Chain A
Amino acid sequence: MGCIILNESFLERVVNQTITALMSINWLQIFWMIIFITAGISLAYLIRLLMRRTLIKVMEYTTLKAIEKIVFYALSTIVILLAISSAGIDISGIALAGGIIGIILGFATQTIIANLFAGLFLYWDKPFSIGDFIEVDNTLGYVIEISLLSTRIKTLDGVHVRLPNEKVFTAKIMNYSKHVARRLTFIASISYREDVQRACEVIRRVITEHPLVLVEPKPIVYVKELGDSGVNIEVYVWVPSRLWLEAYTDILWRIKKALTEEGIEIPFPQRDVWFRTPLEIRVNMKEFEGVTDIIRHTGLDQEYATEEA
């Protein structure tokens, strides 16, 4: 067990030095420094409130919240440093220490800063907004939050995905909600024996009657190719972007139903096999009268005889 033994002369020296230090402080300057810091931080807070009120109309709330925090803390730091400097305290040491800490933090938080700047660029670039249906980095879903560091997406199967903004910024982004309408493409295949014109008319009737298929841009129905199994008819329709899933699932089903009701055959894959040399198949009914005849016919009787010998 250790203990510190303090003699009387040492204590006196510490007390005297403290009193001398306190006597040398200009308390009036300290008072004004506190007033300056209080006023400065209050001003920074007011600027933060003002930013919130004015920018909320043009900026996402989460982004705005992050930016206003950065502005508030930056202003507060500047105010504190100015106050200390005006009180006659040398801040060059603090600045040097701050610089070194900054470099260390810079290396340590490289990814965070990259995400932060990517977040700011995403804000300016605006490739998507909250509620948009997007595909980014093989993730398909609805944007639920855009913050300075990350973007959160809810996928169609209900999974919550957080993507770092750096990744989002450099990835290919497909925004399916940017335009009010979106094109859907279907292929309906009909048998070669069917009347293609009639099939096209049936498909046109279905898409004309469908409430989600837009009149403009005009739908297109045409024979795309003569396929392996049937005639492939391609259908282009434009639907409201918000209801593309409903349209996608409903239209193809209605086309299939209408074609079936009209008796138009939708073929399944078929393959004809052609032999290079003609095959000769001879059938002699007498040879099928008994099992022995079949064995003889296939040549198995000769094999059996050889084995027995």
Chain B
Amino acid sequence: MMLHRDKVIESFHQLGFSPRVGEFEDRILIQKCVLLLQLRGLGTAYPYRLHIRGPYCVELNREAFAHRDEFEAPASRGALDEKERAIVAAFGETFELRPNQLEVAATYAYFVSCDGLDPVEAHRRTRKLKSFVPAAQQALGISRAKRFLYPPTEEETREMKDEFALWQSASLRSGRDHE
């Protein structure tokens, strides 16, 4: 089975991420970046499973060590098409390369996209499995995962606008009263 290592390496090149494969922290980043990119549609096929650490791909870890030089000095390889380059760009705009944020985002995304859980249950399980991450960082990770992978539809956006319109106009009125 082709896992498409070239796509991963070129994505890292585009993100300006040169992981030190020997470092535990950078291996977390490799794992979580690839899962999030893959779920968004990067044409890779790494088989992730839920482990004690959250979603994790043994094969990806093996590849990172087996092709350490390629991972540590990622270069452009012409492996990504235009759509995939846009996915990587969106990833770069959404996330910072910080382990806690990406761990939470990837865990939430795994529960929703791979286990098919509803957002409330996925949120609950993510908070439990990543309980060592401060609450503010948990909220940030989940909100960025939603922005990157599950943006609201036009209809949902319209419904939200309608729902919040009253609050918004009340707030504007209140602001004017205090001027």
Say if A and B assemble together: no
User: Which chain A residues have a beta carbon within 8 Å of chain B's beta carbons?
Assistant: none
